[in-house]
Amino acid sequence: MHCSLFCRVIDNYGDIGVCWRLARQLVHEHGWHVTLWVDDLASFARIAPALDMALACQLLDGIEVRHWADPLPADAAVGDIVIEAFACELPHSYQQAMAAQARRPLWLNLEYLSAEDWVEGCHGLPSPHPRLPLQKYFFFPGFTPRTGGLLCEQALLAERDAWQADTAAQHAYWQARGVPPCPPGGVRYSLFAYDSPAAAQWVQQLAAGSQPVQLLLPMSKVVPDVLQALGLPADAAAGQHYACGQLALYLLPMTDQAGYDRLLWSCDFNMVRGEDSFLRAQWAGRPFAWHIYRQDDDAHIDKLQAFLQHYCHTMPPALATAVQGFMLAWNRNRLTADSWPALLQHWPQWQLHARAWPDKILAGGSLAARLVQFSQIRLQ
């Protein structure tokens, strides 16, 4: 089965992060041949360092990667399945080529992940092309059996468990990044977020708290807020570290996807942003909070609350209240003095919930498995 997967990079890493994971799953777990068309190879290379940005066509990890530039080259083959990621809009010439095929391809629009109720009713719906004899299907990732599922590799949770049980591997991991062992009673947190006043408030609370905290900070948009809040040099770079009260801050360079997974697996708490990191934090089986991408008219708050309804549904009421309060306060840029301490009071319960959560939401199969099944049914 040949799949042509098209991706326009919108927010640097999220869109291509999802597409790159999906492409690898379709190839390695389901035996598909995948051509991944990407318009921004520079951003792609930040999470896939082996990518050669000078090449318009290359084979990377079993996937044919091609630079999406207009017009598409004459040898742009039409796959049996064509996926446009996140409504990126295929070139008109390519749509015409699809319509000209003796057996027209299955055309899917892979949508953004949402936990909102309406997703179940829209997942899998067809949309006829206004001019060409083509039909596009909407494929919605989601948290329930009536959606397209969630991106997660078949062996990922077993790999996570093995990593979290291997203290020697974790020690070597931290040593390679210049991070010393945690002091007695200390914890490790990671922060990968958008710029936010809440981040400044949070790190100030950690620095003034009673517990030693090692904060791992990959280079991202939130770094200037953290540095300013702690009175640190604005030009601080990856590889540097600072001590501020109870907070030890370590600035990390960007890493590939496997490296970021290990960071999440190795921390006690992860603050993450966007869609791809949001899911990877859940697979880590550790407490996490989500900095969702801000939208006009606070539409992102509705999306956050829809997720929290799922995530907190089986939590003890006091924990659910604390988790919802912290995430909503962060995303409204109004972190209160008690929102973080309220979470700490229920930490053991949150750890148990976080550990059980991945198995619960993967019970109906991963996104890649559901996409393959959806495609097989419609191409019979």
Per-residue pLDDT of the chain (380 residues; tens, 9 = 90+): 999 999 999 865 678 989 999 999 999 999 999 999 999 999 999 889 999 999 999 999 999 999 999 899 989 999 999 999 998 999 999 999 999 999 999 999 999 999 999 999 999 999 999 999 999 999 999 999 999 999 999 999 999 999 999 999 999 999 999 999 999 999 999 999 999 999 999 999 999 999 999 999 998 889 999 999 999 998 888 889 999 999 999 999 988 889 999 999 999 999 999 888 999 999 999 999 999 988 877 788 999 999 999 999 999 999 999 999 999 999 999 899 999 999 999 999 999 999 999 999 998 899 999 999 999 999 97
Strands, E assignment, 122-268: 126-128, 135-139, 187-191, 213-218, 241-244, 247-252
How far apart are alpha carbons 260 and 276 in whole angstroms?
11
Q: Is 153 a catalytic residue?
A: no
The whole-model pTM stands at: 0.93
How far apart are alpha carbons 187 and 284 in whole angstroms?
16
CB 270 within 8 A of CB 168: no
Q: Is 275 a catalytic residue?
A: yes
How far apart are alpha carbons 123 and 149 in whole angstroms?
10
C-alpha dihedral (157, 160, 161, 162), degrees to nearest 10: 120
Domain residue spans of the chain: 2-151+364-378, 156-361
* Active-site hit among 40, 111, 261, 275: 275
Give start and end residues of each alpha helix (H) in 48-91. Answer: none
How far apart are alpha carbons 295 and 272 in whole angstroms?
17
Phi-psi region of 52 (alpha: psi -120 to 50; beta: other; left: phi over 0): beta
How far apart are alpha carbons 130 and 144 in whole angstroms?
31
Question: 126-128 and 135-139: which strand pairing?
Answer: antiparallel
* Active-site hit among 11, 15, 70, 225: 15
- Other Cβ atoms closer than 10 A to 167: 8
Q: Report the top-level CATH class of 156-361.
A: alpha beta
Q: What share of the chain is helix, strand, coil (3-state, %, to 5)?
A: 40, 20, 40
C-alpha count within 13 angstroms, C-beta hemisphere, residue 236: 24
pLDDT for the residue numbered 293 = 84
